[in-house]
Each structure stands twice: as C-alpha cells, then as structure tokens.
C-alpha cells in the first residue's frame, strides 16, 4: 500500500484503511439523503485533556430543516461545529453527511467543497472591495482575488449575483465598499458569499450577535427564505430570534443533548431551566 493524497487539496490522508485515511476522493454528488437526513452525529465524544467537551452527542438534521441549537456557555456548541467541519477530530463516534460520507475522515477544505458552509460569528468580507465584487469572488472557482476580478463574468454568473443581492437585501449597496456596510449588512454579505458556493448544509454561529433589532428581524426573514432550499444549523443565544425562526430547538448541555422540541417545550422543561439558571 502507498500513502494517499487528496487531489483537490494536495493533502496527505495517510494510508488507505487507516482511521485518519481517506480511501477515495469524495465529491458532493455522492451525497445520499434518500433517508431524509442531511447530518447524523452519533455518539460523538471530544475530550480536551480529559475534559469531555462533547459527551456521546447524538443529533440528526433533516434535509431542508432549520435547526436552532441553544445551550449555556461551554455546552459544546462550537466544538460540535468544529467536528462537523473537520476542524476537530472526535475521539469516538461518527458524523455522517447524508448516508455515506463520514466527515470524521475528511479534512476542512474537502468538507467545505462537498457542501458544508460555516459562518463564524465575526464577519470576514473583503472590506476594500464592493459588495458585488465580494460575491463575484465567492462564485469563482479560482480563488485568487485578482484572477477572479480579471475574469469576465458569464451571463449566468451575473444573474446569480443579482439573485444573491436580492436575497441578502443588498441590491442598492452593490457598488458600495464592503468596509462601509453596517455590521448587519456585512453579516448578510458573508451569508451571500457562502450561498454563492451553494452549500447543502449551512452552519451559522450566533448570526445576530451585535445586530440592531431591525437587522435581527431581517436576518430572521432571510433564514426563513433559505429553509427548505438549504439545511441550516443555527447556534444562537438570542431567544427572541430563535423563537422567530425555529421549529425544532436542540438544547445542549455538558456536551450532550439535554432536550429537543419547540422553543416553548424546551423552555418549559425543568432540566433546561436548571442548566440555564444553574440551580
């Protein structure tokens, strides 16, 4: 046997058949969601120096679902997203994207490429470029900024940018430098940049933190529009926002699922009240 290398990223995945290895390159067309789930985490455990940040976490997300994840500080929400995106390898358990793609065997660039987008809390847009240019770069396969800007857009790509601008409500700002946008507008632009890559599953970490009430409301509308077309996992502390968008809410505590249901159901759950109030 010889070491295997991912052609797309040039990264060495080790020997075929090893736990850290990747037997074959994966592409998004292999995503099999015939059973209805886009994501299935099973018995995931992550330990940091003996401390269990995730403790036998089991959770599944249906295709097209908008799932909200809540939980007190330190519950393991970020660690869970790190496992899904390949940033952290679990000590035990499996994380399946569809029925067949085991995310615990893939690296971060490959996971992004097969259709899992992640929005971190802080917006990261190209501030010196216009809103439209930011979306252009996100659309292109050649990620070098200058190569992207020099290349001419196809009619189809122009239509897609118009569509994205409408969706993220930045049509009137298209020629504006991204650095001049409000915090909320930057967040929407970054969501637009992720959407340009047509993710199947979008992970959003506290998308409305620092937003005004009006921006929060617009973000709720945006996410409700995306639901169905994409599957979404939203980690959020703002309960009014969660109430506006969520059908099903998962409460994490001490690295496991504590409760699941509508926001009203989980808020009425004694165990949930206890972990939030620390009684």
Residue 77 in the binding site for ligand ATP (CB under 6 A): yes
Find tokens 């929005």 and name the residue. Answer: 119
Cβ-count burial of 26 within 10 angstroms (0-12 exposed, 13-18 middle, 19+ buried)? buried
Identify the CA nearest to 233 among candidates 125, 98, 84. Answer: 84
Find tokens 């099999």 and name the residue. Answer: 32
Which of 38, 39, 66, 75 lies at the binding interface for ligand ATP (CB under 6 A)? 75
Q: How far apart are CB 82 and ligand ATP at their closest, in Å?
A: 7
Residue 130 in the binding site for ligand ATP (CB under 6 A): no
- Answer for the pair 188, 219: CB distance below 8 angstroms, yes or no: yes
How many residues make contact with ligand ATP (CB under 6 A)? 10
Residue 134 in the binding site for ligand ATP (CB under 6 A): no
Query: Which pair of structure tokens corresponds to residue 252?
Result: 């994490």
Q: How far apart are CB 79 and ligand ATP at their closest, in Å?
A: 3
- How many angstroms separate the Cα of 146 from the Cα of each of 136, 149, 169? 11, 5, 26
Point out which span in 11-19, 70-78, 195-203, 220-228 binds ligand ATP (CB under 6 A). Answer: 70-78
Nearer Cβ to ligand ATP, position 71 or 199? 71
Residue 71 in the binding site for ligand ATP (CB under 6 A): yes
Which of 26, 31, 53, 170 lies at the binding interface for ligand ATP (CB under 6 A)? 53
Look up residue 269 and give its DSSP letter.
-
What CA–CA distance (Å, rounded) separates 200 from 115? Answer: 5
Nearer Cβ to ligand ATP, position 8 or 209? 209
Residue 74 in the binding site for ligand ATP (CB under 6 A): yes
- How many angstroms separate the Cα of 82 from the Cα of each of 15, 18, 86? 24, 21, 6
Which of 61, 66, 79, 115 lies at the binding interface for ligand ATP (CB under 6 A)? 79
Residues in contact with ligand ATP by the rule CB under 6 A: 48, 53, 71, 73-79
């Amino acid at each position: 046997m010889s070491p295997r290398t991912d052609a797309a990223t040039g990264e060495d995945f080790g020997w075929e058949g090893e736990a850290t290895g990747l037997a074959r390159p994966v592409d998004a067309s292999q995503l099999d969601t015939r059973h209805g789930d886009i994501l299935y985490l099973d018995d995931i455990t992550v330990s940091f120096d003996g401390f269990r940040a995730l403790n036998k976490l089991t959770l599944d997300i249906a295709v097209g679902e908008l799932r909200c994840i809540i939980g007190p500080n330190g519950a393991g929400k970020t660690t869970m997203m790190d496992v899904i995106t390949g940033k952290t390898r679990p000590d035990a358990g499996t994380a399946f994207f569809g029925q067949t793609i085991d995310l615990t065997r893939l690296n971060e660039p490959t996971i992004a490429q097969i259709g899992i987008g992640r929005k971190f809390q802080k917006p990261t847009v190209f501030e010196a470029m216009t809103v439209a240019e930011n979306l252009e770069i996100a659309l292109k396969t050649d990620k070098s900024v200058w190569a992207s800007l020099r290349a001419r857009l196809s009619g189809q790509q122009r239509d897609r940018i118009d569509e994205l601008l409408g969706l993220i409500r930045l049509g009137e700002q298209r020629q504006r430098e991204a650095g001049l946008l409000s915090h909320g507008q930057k967040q929407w632009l970054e969501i637009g940049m992720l959407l340009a890559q047509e993710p199947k599953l979008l992970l959003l970490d506290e998308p409305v933190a620092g937003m005004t009430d009006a921006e929060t409301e617009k973000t709720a509308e945006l996410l409700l529009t995306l639901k169905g077309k994409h599957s979404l996992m939203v980690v959020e502390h703002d309960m009014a926002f969660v109430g506006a968008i969520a059908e099903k809410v998962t409460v994490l505590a001490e690295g496991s699922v504590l409760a699941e249901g509508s926001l009203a159901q989980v808020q009425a759950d004694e165990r949930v009240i206890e972990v939030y109030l620390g009684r």
